[in-house]
Structures are given as structure tokens and as C-alpha cells.
Amino acid sequence: MKKLFISILFLLQYFLVIGQSPENFQLVIEEDTISGMPGLQSFVHAQVDGKWLLIGGRTDGLHQRQPFASFAVAGNNTNIYVVDPEQKQVWTGSLNGLPTGLVEQLQSTNMEFIQHDDKLYIIGGYGYSATAADHITFPNLTVVDVPKVVQAIMNGTSIASYFKQVTDQRMAVTGGYLGRLATTFTSCADNDSMGVTIRWEWLPMCRCTRMKSGNFLFWKVEEH
């Protein structure tokens, strides 16, 4: 019995030591150059068949600190890019030709987004709206058919029919995180248009029923 106890104690000590020993690994980051690859900051991305879809964000890097100079329209990304990192190819499509609501939101910065299967869900974003004649946080949900948009841009054909958009003030968020659990989408740590209000909310996709519990809002999704 004493030998058995000593053996068990030895094994426990062995596994404790092994469990606490650091793993040996190496992380290497290598720069790769793709001709025509855009320089974007705070953009939306999705992927299909190894190709990347890039939407929105800014082309001038971090925005200016002065309020009067921040988020200038000239720094908006008004194109949609498809990138094949393996073949090092880039295709470009313009937002021009889309409805005004889509054009304004999809060239904003810090939109919240998540891809689920072939659909890319985008909410909010901050930027200048010619419609509002001011900088706003966009109160929109946009759903993108990723494979069809990618194929259309590669073929140089219209992308207009592959976007759906709804307007709801509860979508006016920016800079947070959009997640998904089953049929419920979650948004947290968002800013309002002034960048000072932190929200923790569960937001709706299309039509929904609402329940409130404590500091969280829960939304049951009914996509249609």
C-alpha cells in the first residue's frame, strides 16, 4: 500500500510539472505583397472559397484627433475589394450604383459584422452622411450575399441585387463586436456617434420579439 501511495504521489507530481511547463513554440509573421491590395483600416471582411471580401473602412489610416478634421469624406473607402491571396489577384467594384442608404453605410468605419455561412451581416458604422448633412452612426442592418457579390465583382457585373438593408435606430452602433449564437445575434461594447456611451445589448436581425432581463436585451431572430 505504501509503494502504491508513493507511486500515485509521484505520478501526480509528474503531471503537475508537465502541466506547468511552458510549451515550446515559435510565431513567425512574414510580410507578403499583393499588387493592388488596398490599405484599409477598420473595415468589414468575409471570405468564400479562399477569396476575401473587403468592405468599408478608411484609406487614410487612423483618423485625425481634431474633431473638425476627423473622418473626412476623402478618406472613405468607396470601393469593394475581392482578394485572392494565393493567386495574388485583386478585383475592385464600386459602391456607386447602389441605393443611397447602402452607399453611405458601406463606406463608413468601424461597422460591426459577422459572417454566417454565405451571408455577411453588418450593423452600424460611423461616417459622414450626405443625407443627414452630418457625421452619424448609421442606423442600418445590411445583409450581403458573399458568394454572389464576390463573383459579380470578379466578372465586372452588377452587385446591386445582392444586398438587403433595413433601418432601425437600435442598429446605430459602432466599434463593438457582433456575435451569433444559434438564431440570436449579439452586440456588445458599442459606442454611440460621440464615441462615449458603452452599450451591452442583444440586437435584432430583421423582424423580432423583444424580452428584457437586467442589463441585457434579448432578441429572437426571424429572418425573412
> What pLDDT score does 181 carry?
77
> What pLDDT score does 112 carry?
92
Query: Domain for residue 28, yes or no?
Result: no
Query: Domain for residue 21, yes or no?
Result: no
- The total number of structural domains that make up the chain: 1
Query: Domain for residue 63, yes or no?
Result: yes
**pTM exceeds 0.95, yes or no:** no
How far is the C-alpha of 151 from the C-alpha of 144, rounded, in Å?
Answer: 13
> What pLDDT score does 39 carry?
92
> What pLDDT score does 178 carry?
83
> What pLDDT score does 42 carry?
93
> What pLDDT score does 186 carry?
74
Query: Domain for residue 164, yes or no?
Result: yes
Q: Which residues of the chain have pLDDT under 70?
A: 1-22, 62-69, 189-224
Query: Domain for residue 78, yes or no?
Result: yes
> What pLDDT score does 196 carry?
34
> What pLDDT score does 14 carry?
57
The Cα-based distances of 136 to 37, 58, 158, 216 in angstroms read 28, 15, 28, 24
Query: Domain for residue 99, yes or no?
Result: yes
> What pLDDT score does 12 carry?
55
Smallest CA-to-CA distance from 123 within 76, 80, 176, 59 is with 176
> What pLDDT score does 164 carry?
94
> What pLDDT score does 13 carry?
61
Query: Domain range spanning residue 183?
Result: 33-222
Query: Domain for residue 13, yes or no?
Result: no
Query: Domain for residue 24, yes or no?
Result: no
